[in-house]
Amino acid sequence: MQYPEPISKLIDSYMKLPGIGAKSAARLAFYTIDMREDDVTDFAKALISAKRDLNYCSVCGNITEEDPCYICKDAGRDRGTILVVEDPKDVISIEKMREYRGLYHVLHGVLSPVEGTGPEDIQIPSLIRRLQSDEVKEVIIATNATAEGEATAMYLSRLIKPAGIKVTRLAHGLAVGSDIEYADEITLMKAVEGRREL
């Protein structure tokens, strides 16, 4: 049995979202149909607003309503430190901590030869332009601990160090509260490499 066309279109639209398969999309579509009309209208307006009203900061690449973003405009930020992340969600995660007071640079991806993503496909050229300022003393690379994230971190390090800028990497290893016996070899290796004096 085929769904009526409006439901099929709605299912197809939900399936374009990451991690949503046919069954989940159908569940979401039928849930949407059962919603109050006001809620559906608000939902549609929120989608349109997010698409129309948000853009990327011309300085750091973070998602923002105004350009430059509030972080880049904040005169109280440490302009000597730039923390490099893969995407805007990472900025939000680090900001929740309320400890880091430097600037950010969002790459919008990582190097991945398998997927054909090279340095020109992500925001590496704009990072290099930012580093030409004498203010920047340290770049903290906070890409994910994946093969692509590690390759990107190594590439950035080799690119930046000759300029005399300190390059650091976020520590990786055992999570707080975890047991050593349940950790995999790579996590343990990173924990040993990132050890510090007590």
Q: Which of 110, 165, 158 is nearest to 134 (CA)?
A: 165
**pLDDT (tens digit, 9 = 90+) per residue, 49-86?**
999 999 999 999 999 999 999 999 999 999 999 999 99
Mean pLDDT of 122-143: 93
Mean pLDDT of 155-178: 88
The yes-or-no verdict on residue 87 having pLDDT over 70 is: yes
Structural domains present in the chain: 5-53 (1.10.8.420), 73-169 (3.40.1360.10)
The yes-or-no verdict on residue 127 having pLDDT over 90 is: yes
The pTM for the full model equals 0.82
**Residue 120's pLDDT band (cuts 50, 70, 90):** very high
Burial of 119 (0-12, 13-18, 19+ CB in 10 A): middle
**Average pLDDT of the chain?**
92
Mean pLDDT of 144-163: 92
Quote the CA–CA distance of 8 and 172 in Å, as a whole number.
44
Quote the CA–CA distance of 80 and 135 in Å, as a whole number.
5
**191 residue type, one letter:** A
The yes-or-no verdict on residue 197 having pLDDT over 70 is: no
